[in-house]
Every structure is written in structure tokens, then in C-alpha cells.
Structure 1
Amino acid sequence: MSYLHFKALHIIFVVSWFAGLFYMPRLFVYHTDAQQKGDVERDILTKEYLRTEKLLWNAIMTPACWLSLLFGGIMLYMSPHWLYQGWMQLKLAFVAGLLAYHFFTLKILKEIRQNKFRFTSLQLRLYNEVATIFLFAIVFLVVLKNTMDWIWGVIGLVIFAITIMSAVRMVKRIREKKSRS
């Protein structure tokens, strides 16, 4: 197989991995919100969320994570000169952060399976946006490579993160106002 075949496979599994990273915390939000329902509704929803979370983790997120890393590693093996590029080193640092996010998501999943809901719905909504920040950082870094001005990139990423967090809080306030009406 050629470098481009491995690149295509890497992209496919990165997309799949991110799909899981976006959806799992959203399931956590719904699962947490379900704890406020009546007994019958809560039990039905909890059973379904546990089933969906298990399937998402085992059938999509974990395989996609490892296959992304495998095909990315093969590409680096085929083109080791990328490892000496600043943008690739920074990308790998973001990937390490993404892996930390992935395994922290597993920690939350294990807690929820034990019926421990440590985070509020709002905290989980904010947590859900962390993957978006990683996605933007990694994609812009890979596409722009050496043409990226690192300082402006970091400033843009911080502004983007603040915007997302503010939007989540604003949506929460709007929902609270509607529920009081």
C-alpha cells in the first residue's frame, strides 16, 4: 500500500474517532439529565444510555482511536522527516492531549456505569466542546503546516475556546428562562 492509502485510512479513522468523541459526552449529558426524571422514565432511559455508551465505546471509539494512531504511525515511519518539523511536533502534542481527553472520557464512562454522576449537565456540555477545540487546532495545524504563525494560532484558539464556552452558557440561560415560563 502507498503512503496515500495509509493517509486515507488515517483520515477515515480520525473522523470516526472524533464522531465518538463528540457523541459520548453528549450521551453523558442526556444520561445525567435522565437522573432527574421519575423512576420509570429514569430506569428506561438509563438502560438505553448505558447500552448506547457501551456500544459507542467498544465498537467505534476504541477501534477508531487505535487505528488512527496505527495509520498515523505508519505514515510517520514512511516519512520520518515530518518528525523534525515544528508543526508535526505540535500536532503530536495535540494528539497526546486528545488521548488524555479520550481516556478521561473513559473514566467518566466508568463512573457513570457505577451510577456516580460527578459532573453537572453544564460541566459535561462544556467538556463536550473540548474535542471541538482539539479538532480545530489539529486540522488548522496540518493544513497550514509551516505557514502558520504560532502566536496568532494560539490567540485564535483561545478566542475560539472562549466563544464556544460562552455559547454553551448562553444556551443554558435561554433554556432555563424557557423552562421557567
Structure 2
Amino acid sequence: MLWVKAWHIIFMVTWFAGLFYLPRLYVYHAMAEDTASQERFKIMERKLFYGIMTPGAIITIVLGLWLLGDYAWAAYKNSGWLHAKLVLVGILIIYHIHCGKLLVDFKHDRNTRSHVYYRWYNEFPVLLLIGVVLLAVAKPF
């Protein structure tokens, strides 16, 4: 089971790399004024979302469910930290889906937000990562 946990962590890191980088691309895309740059960002965003982020998310979730079903649920079903972690993972999934919606908006030149918005938007997964890791490692309650 340690191999499954190791791969779960590896793909979680892959997923978070995308969650950190895609909104940063949105910052630069929102600032871009020339067509060539805007088209380049569309390609980069699409490849990151569909080629790295989404596979990383799916594999992370599948392996997490495997770990949960194999031993964690029986051992920790009455622990608040596990329920809190699962809530944060649910929020991460919603954030991921929202990133995909923003991707479509940029693809169709429908972005209405400034680069400043995306700079703040980019900070949200950092807070979630801190919460998930602290809950999983420290198991505080």
C-alpha cells in the first residue's frame, strides 16, 4: 500500500503544479495585448490543463479513493481531520473545474477579469495545499 501512497503523492504534486501554474498563465494572458501572445497562451493553457493537470487530478483522486477504501476509512472514519481533508479536496476539484471554465473563456476571447484578479486567484490553491498537508500529516483532530 505504500507504493499506492507514493504514487498518490507524486500525482498530487503534478496536479498542484498545474493548479499553481495555470492561473499564473491567466495573469500573463490577461495582460497580453497582441494576437500572437494571446494565441500562444491559449495553446499553453490547453496543454497544461488537459495534458498535465487533469490527468494528475484524476490519478490523484483514483489513488486517494483506493487508499481510502483499502484501509484509511476503517481506521479514520470517526476522525475529523479526514472529513476536513476530504472537504478541502472537494473544494480543489471545484477550483480545478473553475480553471477549466476560465480556460474556455480565454479560448473564446471572453475573459472579463484583469491580471490583478488572477494574481489573487492564483493564491487560493496554496491555502488549500497547506490545509490538506497539515491535516494529512498532523491529523490534529
- The reply to whether TM is greater than 0.5 is yes
Write out per-residue CA displacement over residues 56-101 of structure 1, whole angstroms, 9 at most, x where no aligned residue.
0111001000000000000011112233321100000000011111
Counterpart for residue 123 of structure 1? 117
Counterpart for residue 137 of structure 1? 131
Bigger Rg over Cα:
1
1:40-119 maps to which residues of 2 (within 5 A)?
42-79=34-71, 80-81=73-74, 82-119=76-113
| TM-score normalised by length of structure 2 | 0.95
Task: Kindly report structure 1 stretches of 4+ aligned residues shifted beyond 6 Å.
Answer: none
User: For residue 28 of structure 2, what is the amino acid of its counterpart?
Assistant: Y
User: Could you say what the CA RMSD is over the residues aligned between the two structures, in angstroms?
Assistant: 1.0
Counterpart for residue 162 of structure 1? none
Distance (whole Å) between structure 2 residues aligned to residue 50 and residue 73 of structure 1 = 32
Offset at residue 118 of structure 1 (A) = 1.7
Q: Where does structure 2 lack aligned partners over 5 or more consecutive residues?
A: none
Q: Where does structure 1 lack aligned partners over 5 or more consecutive residues?
A: 36-41, 149-181
Percent of pairs identical after alignment? 35
User: For residue 59 of structure 1, what is the amino acid of its counterpart?
Assistant: G
1:28 correspondence with 2:23: no
Counterpart for residue 12 of structure 2? 14
Higher RCO, 1 or 2 (CA under 8 Å, sep at least 6)? Answer: 2
Distance (whole Å) between structure 1 residues aligned to residue 51 and residue 77 of structure 2 = 31
| TM-score normalised by length of structure 1 | 0.74
Checking the alignment, whether the CA contact within 8 Å between 1:17 and 1:61 is kept in structure 2 is yes
More deviation, 44-53/67-76:
44-53
User: For residue 45 of structure 1, what is the amino acid of its counterpart?
Assistant: S
